[in-house]
Structure formats: structure tokens, C-alpha cells
Structure 1
Amino acid sequence: MKKIIVITGILALSLSSYSQDSLSVYLEMAGKNNPGVKAAFNQYLAALEKVPQVGSLPDPQGSLGFFLQPMELLNGNQVGSIGVMQMFPWFGTLKLAKDEASLMAKAQFSLFQESKAMLFYNVKASWYKLVKYKRGIVLINENIALLESIEKLALVKFQSPAGSSSGSSSGSSMQGAPSATGNPGAMGGMNSQAAASVQPQSGMSSVTSGGMGSKPTGLADVLRVRMEILDQKYQLTLLKDQLKTEEVNFNLLLNRDQNLEIDIPDTLKMETLSVSAMVVADSILSNNPMLAMLDAEGQSYSTMADKSRKMGLPMLGVGLNYMVIQKQAGNQSMMNGNDMVMPMVNFTIPVYRKKYTAMQKEARYLHESTLLKSEDMKNMLLLEYRQFAQEYSNAERRVELYREQADLANRTANLLLAGFTSTGTDFEEILSIQYKVLEYGLKHIEAVADYNTAVAKAEKLMNAVNY
């Protein structure tokens, strides 16, 4: 009798340095190429250009005038004048305007950081899905290979004379339960008596039914395995479609050709938080970029209120007027024909106070609105932290649970396979336990992916971006 080799195992929690470097490379690539992040950075650069705009003096004013007929003066005839004037806002107004623009640029930079943190979270989440799908494809392929081996063995037992006397594992029909792969292990030396002891009662009635029922039951076993193989091939096709869609999503996050190949590792390790899970909430409130943005906006509006108050004060102007004088015939004055220079000082009179009062009220309302937004954002972040803590703890428990259950299912499958190779019994139990092995393997890798996604979410909320 051919020896059956169980081809699968549960997910190994290790990751090569190459695959980890691949994710780092992809994150760096995304940060450089993603159009959303680049747009946010350009908005920050544009906000920086506001600082010199609002911090500069008004343009000087110049004037040029001439008389159609010279105006007679005591010292000659004035033919024209040239003037220049520079206005100055009230003391400290320009500094406040620059501070306001700088704070708004700081708020825009926080938006850029939020955009980058969100991008890295999406890239990591997509990466973990890619590994999950690829590993799931491997597990299902191994399960199909095992089912094909079981099918061949069942067919041999059905066709052999010995198969008619031994019978099959059960006469009851399976209700379409999918199968799963087992864990690698030696099958020799197992106690077939122990394997047969877990045989269900329906299998006992099948064994005692005599030779007339054994052949149809054996054929039913073969057909049942083929049904499971077809079902697993269908699930494999669905998983490959999901993998392809996620590959397109991943490539688009990197802003590159959606059909480019991605270096996906075969295994996935559990990531670690950069800080203790107990201090994540404090770190979020201290480092979250959205809170930093609202804080900068609040300071900007406070500065805007001070600037509006100073804008309601007079503006001062300093200038010079140069008058061109033409000599008068017969004028004996020593100043006859001498040009005149007149220094000038002017100022604005801000008597229409409504607009300045409205500007100050606007700034106060905006500042109060920002404070309320900040309080609301803190509440939302605390809720997100609570959701993270739940997802993190739940995924951690699931990883351990499915690791242990997969190990137990593998050991049970090995015992049942040993009994089947020696006595031909427990066939239905083999299909059932193989389904459990595959189910636990897929759930285990999903739990690891969910765990890593929760870690990535915490890093996003804390703005722990190191690329």
C-alpha cells in the first residue's frame, strides 16, 4: 500500500529579511509617488508662501503731475510735481500677520502628516491581505493535493478484493463539508486500534452491513472526495480573484502600473508595537496629526484676533513731494527757479469700526469652533483607541487559539489517516477533520493579518511613521 504523505502545516510565524525589506521599500516608494501625499505636501509648500506675502509692507505709492499752464509762484512758475509715499501698518501688525500665516502652514503640515500616515496604514493593510491570500492559496492547493491522494487510495480500496471485506468508514452521506490539509508527519508505527476507536456509530453499522453494501459505499467515498476537490478548486479560484484585486489596489497606492508583479512573502510574522499597549492612548493624544492641526489652527485664529484689533488702528505714511519750478522773467528773487522738496506724513482714520469689530468676532468664533472640533476629535480618537484595543486583544487571542486547534486537528488527522490506510475505516471522519485543519489554518493566518493591521492602525493614530 502506498504511503500517504500529509502535505501541509499551519502557518509558520517567521518572515525573512528580504520580505520585510520589501515592505519597507514599498512604503518608501508609496511616500514618494502617491499623488494624494504629494498633493498634501504641495499644499503645505503653498501655505509657507503665504508668510512673506502677509509680512511685507504695502507697495509704495508714487504720483506725477504737471500743469497745462505753469502756475505762477513767488519764486518762479511751477510746471509739475513728483511724489512718493510709503504706508506703514500699526506697530506689530505685520508680525502678527506672519505668525498667523506660519501657524496655518503648520496646520497644513499636520494634514500632510495625516495623509502620509493614512497612506502607510493602507499600504500595510493591503500588504497583510496579500500575504493572507497567497498563504491561503498555498494551503488550499496542499489540501487539494492531499484529497487527490485520498481519492486514489479510496479508489484502490474500492477496486481491490480486500476493500469489499473491510468496508468504508461510514455509510452516511456528507453534507458538502469542505476538506483541509494536514500537518507533515510520519504515518508509520501508529496504533490502528486507537485510530479505529474514534469511528462514528454510522461507520460501525456500515462495517456490519456485509459485503453487499461495501462496494457502493466505497464508490460513494470516491465520489465524495471528488465533490470536495471540486469545491476546493472553486474556493481556490475565488481566492485568486481576491489576490488579483488586492494586487491592483496595492500597485495603485504606489501610483504605478496596476499589473506590475509584487514580491509577496510566503509567511507572515506578528509585528510589535513601538510602545506599550497601555500608553497608546496617551501617545495618540500627544502625537496625532489631526489634533496637532486643530491646535495650530486655534493658535492661528487667536493671532488673527490680535491682528484684527491692530488693523483697526491708524496706518502711518511717510513720503516726499518734489516740485519742479521754472524761472520767471524779471523776478529778482534769489530762489527764482529753485525746485522745492516737501517731506510729507499722512495717516488713515479708521472711523468705520463695524468691519474691524466683525473681523475680531470672526476670529473669536473660529477659535471657539476649533476648540470644540479638537474636543470632538479627542473623543473620536479615544473611541478609535478602544476599537484598536479590542481588535488587538481579540486578534492576539485568536492567533494562539487557532495555533493550538490546528495542532490538535493535525494530530487527529494523522491518527485517522493511519487507521484508514490499515483498515479502510473512518473515511467520513477524515474528510471532516481535514476540513477543520484547513479551516484553522486559514483562520490562523487571518488572525495574524488582523493583529498586524491593528498594530498598523495604532501606528497611524500615533503618527509613528518612520519612512
Structure 2
Amino acid sequence: MIIILVFGFNTNAQILENYVEQAQNANPQIEALELKYKVASEKVNEANTLPNTEVGAGYFVSEPETRTGAQKAKLSIKQMMPWFGTITARENYSTSLADAAYVDIAIAKRKLALSVTQTYYKLYALKAKQKILQQNIDLLNTYEELALNAIEVNKASSVDVLRLQIRQNELMEKKDLLMGDELALETRFNNLLNNEVENNILVEDSLTIPDEEPILAIEDLKVHPELEKYDKLYASVKEAEELNQTENAPAIGFGIDYIAVEKRPEMNFTDNGKDIFMPMVSVSIPIFNNKYKSVTRQHEIQQQEIEAQKREMKNNLETTLKEAIQQRISARISYQTQFKNIEKAKDAEEILLKQYETDILDFQDVLDIQELQLKFQLHQIEAIKNYYLQTAIINYISN
């Protein structure tokens, strides 16, 4: 039995893991985030560039005369060079943005796994409730045959049969409604898996809840992706400020001017018609730097905002985790209570049926006990569903 239980548990867990993996591999949102991350990564290469090289050419319409001849045309080339460390600062800033985009992928995968898991257990509950209702319908059929036989020996009336039939109709209605809910939920589940064709979803036949609350090893919430994202955003703002400081530094430009000179006719002297080459150095100084001071202040405010958002998110995660743990404990207690109530209802049912051997069977009591038993069974399934829904939330936050 231990081998069967372990094998069955591993098989059931593997079914859900396969669904989660399938959803993560085919989800359009995750695909879009991965493409966004690729774009952000490519921007690192974009940052490793110099400003455009400036090339200019001109022709003298009115030719200036010089000692060596008339100037005919001018060609200039100029290249501005950013201050030392500016390109590295740009690369670091682009890398920090890519890191933040990568964390978005991890968050999306976690949230998708949570949605798949919770939808999976909701489907289990709907299927399990339908199974319980069908069992109770079959039980009422047995009672109906018993009532028909009892009528022949004057131990029941036709009213009892009608009551049993009415009760069967009510349960059939509930089962049909649950079937409609199941179809709608299967559509949602297939959409999560990005299935183009509506496939039947395979779920566990039965689930139970452990008698004792599992030992919960909660990792430090600081490593949770939803908190790590704020760390990455904070780092990106820090790198943006480093870039702002380097852009506030002077920029140096190097260039050369070439001027074509025409020879003076009928004259012979040194450097007649010699072209002019003029190396040039330029410096761009941000004298009016209020812009950069304003950007620095903006970055300080953004960092404060990110820290506040992170504290708020951490508080929300801790609150959600504690609530999920408490609700999971409540679900386990409810499950155990319903289990005891079901046993008592079965004992009462057996007592009533034994009375039928010697006395008239009160089918109203039978219906009452059957209704109680059904209520306990449905509540037990609801407790199982809630237990695993809260477990999914706990795993999303703590793992």
C-alpha cells in the first residue's frame, strides 16, 4: 500500500507539473516578455557606440585669395568623444534595464504556475462533486426500489417514492449545473495552456489532506521575484545617475580641415598652390547644467519611491502568506470535521436500514440523513480544494 500511495502521489504531482511546464512553454505573455528581454539585452550593444562622425564639404563661390593661391573648396571631418567612462556607464544602465526585464519573466512564470495550479484544483473539486452527486443518485435509486418493495408489504406509501424521485431530480439538476461549470473552467484551463483545441483535462481521482500541518520552510522573502524586481529597478536608477554624472562632464572633439588651394598662374615660388591641413580640437562644456542637477534630484526621488513600493509589496506578500497558512489550517480542520460527520451519518443510515427489518421505514428520516451526508461530502471536497488553493499561494510566495 505504501508503494501504491507513493507511486500514485508522484504520478498525480507529475500530471500537474506537466501542465505547468506546458503552459509556461506556450504562454503568449511569457513569449512577449522574453522578446522584450532580448530587445533590452540588445540595447547593451547599442550603448557601446560613439557619437556620429561629422563630415562637411564646401565650395568657395567667392574664392578667398591667399599668398599661395585661391581657396577652391573645403573638407572637414570631426569626431566628438564622450568623457572617460561614459560608454561604460551607458552599458551598465542598459544591462540593469535588461536585468529588470528578466525578472518580469520569472514573475510571469510564477503567476502562470499559480493560475494553472488553482484552476486545476477547482476542476478537481467540480469533478469530485459530480462524482459524489452521482453516488447519491444511485443510492436514491436503491432507496426507491426499497420503497417500492415496502409499499407491497404496507411499510411505505407512494408519497415516499415521490419524495425520493423529487430528491433525485434535485441532485440531477445540481450535477448538470456543475457539469456546465466544469466545461467553462476547462476552457479557461486550455487557454492557460494555449491549446488551440479544447482537450479534456486529466485530474486526480481523489485527494486527501494530511492529518498534521506540514513543516513549512519559508525562504527569505527578499529573494522573491516580486521584491527582487524593485532591487533591479533601484539598481537601474543608480546606473542612470552614474550615466547622468558622466554626461555632465565635458566632451572632447577631434577633427581636421582640408582646404584645396589653386596655384597662382605665371608665378613660381615655394608652396605655390599648397593645400591647407588644419588639425582641430574642440571641447563641449556643460556650463548651464541645471538639467543634470534636476535629473539627479529626480533619480533620488525615484529611489525613494521604489523603496516605498518594495516595503508595500513585502507587507502584502507577508500578509497574504500568513492568511494562506491560516486558511490552509482551517481547511484541514474542516476536512477532518466533515470526515467525522460523514462517519456518523453512515452509522445513522445503517441504524435506519436495520429498523426496516422489524418496523416501518421512515423514508423522510432516510432523506434527511442522506441530505446531511451529501452536505458533509460536498463540504469535505470544498475543504480539499481550499487546502490546495492555499498551498499554491504559499508555494508562490515562499518557494
When normalised by structure 2's length, the TM-score is 0.90
Equivalent residue for 2:260?
A: 324
State whether structure 2 residue 66 is matched by structure 1 residue 127: no
Equivalent residue for 2:14?
A: 21
Q: Which runs of 5+ in 2 are unaligned?
A: none
Equivalent residue for 2:85?
A: 92
Match of 2:198 among 235, 259, 276: 259
Change (3 A) 1:82 1:268: farther
Q: Are 1:15 and 1:269, in contact at CA under 8 Å, matched by a contact in 2?
A: no
State whether structure 2 residue 175 is matched by structure 1 residue 243: no
Q: Distance in 1 between matches of 2:390 and 2:6?
A: 17
| Runs of 4+ displaced beyond 6 Å | none
Residues 73-112 of structure 1, C-alpha deviations (whole Å, 9 max, x = no match): 3333322222222212222222222212211221122122
1:31 is displaced (CA, Å) by 0.8
Equivalent residue for 1:295?
A: 231
1:420 is displaced (CA, Å) by 2.9
Q: Distance in 2 between matches of 1:33 and 1:321?
A: 59
Residues 375-424 of structure 1, C-alpha deviations (whole Å, 9 max, x = no match): 11111111111211112211222232223332333333233333335544
Residues 28-52 of structure 1, C-alpha deviations (whole Å, 9 max, x = no match): 2211222222222222222223322
Relative contact order (C-alpha < 8 Å, sep 6+): which is higher? Answer: 1
Residues 186-206 of structure 1, C-alpha deviations (whole Å, 9 max, x = no match): xxxxxxxxxxxxxxxxxxxxx
Q: Distance in 2 between matches of 1:96 and 1:38?
A: 29
Q: Distance in 1 between matches of 2:322 and 2:353?
A: 45
Residues 252-293 of structure 1, C-alpha deviations (whole Å, 9 max, x = no match): 11222363322233223559xxx942x42x43x222212111
Change (3 A) 1:131 1:122: same
State whether structure 2 residue 282 is matched by structure 1 residue 346: yes
1:15 is displaced (CA, Å) by 4.3
SS in 1 for 2:268: coil
AA at the equivalent of 1:254? L
Q: Which runs of 5+ in 1 are unaligned?
A: 1-11, 169-217
Change (3 A) 1:50 1:421: farther
Q: Distance in 1 between matches of 2:25 and 2:240?
A: 35
Match of 1:219 among 141, 145, 158: 158
SS in 1 for 2:202: coil
Q: Distance in 1 between matches of 2:379 and 2:7?
A: 17
Q: Are 1:19 and 1:263, in contact at CA under 8 Å, matched by a contact in 2?
A: no
AA at the equivalent of 2:167? E
Q: Distance in 1 between matches of 2:381 and 2:248?
A: 66
What is the alpha-carbon root mean square deviation over aligned residues?
A: 2.5
AA at the equivalent of 2:14? D
Q: Are 2:248 and 2:289, in contact at CA under 8 Å, matched by a contact in 1?
A: yes
Q: Distance in 2 between matches of 1:71 and 1:418?
A: 127
Q: Are 1:13 and 1:270, in contact at CA under 8 Å, matched by a contact in 2?
A: no
Q: Distance in 1 between matches of 2:151 and 2:326?
A: 52
1:150 is displaced (CA, Å) by 0.4
Q: Distance in 2 between matches of 1:50 and 1:316?
A: 24
State whether structure 2 residue 53 is matched by structure 1 residue 117: no
Q: Distance in 2 between matches of 1:323 and 1:421?
A: 124
AA at the equivalent of 1:127? Y
SS in 1 for 2:61: strand
> Which moves more between the two structures, 68-77 or 245-254?
68-77
When normalised by structure 1's length, the TM-score is 0.78
SS in 2 for 1:140: helix
Equivalent residue for 1:383?
A: 319
Change (3 A) 1:418 1:82: farther
AA at the equivalent of 1:237? D
Q: Distance in 2 between matches of 1:362 and 1:149?
A: 77
Matches within 5 A, 1:402-421: 402-420=338-356
1:313 is displaced (CA, Å) by 1.7
Equivalent residue for 1:106?
A: 99
Q: Are 2:353 and 2:361, in contact at CA under 8 Å, matched by a contact in 1?
A: no
Q: Distance in 1 between matches of 2:22 and 2:261?
A: 72
State whether structure 2 residue 331 is matched by structure 1 residue 395: yes
State whether structure 2 residue 30 is matched by structure 1 residue 37: yes
Change (3 A) 1:332 1:424: farther
Q: Distance in 1 between matches of 2:358 and 2:108?
A: 62
State whether structure 2 residue 163 is matched by structure 1 residue 228: no
Change (3 A) 1:383 1:418: same
1:21 is displaced (CA, Å) by 3.2
AA at the equivalent of 1:314? P
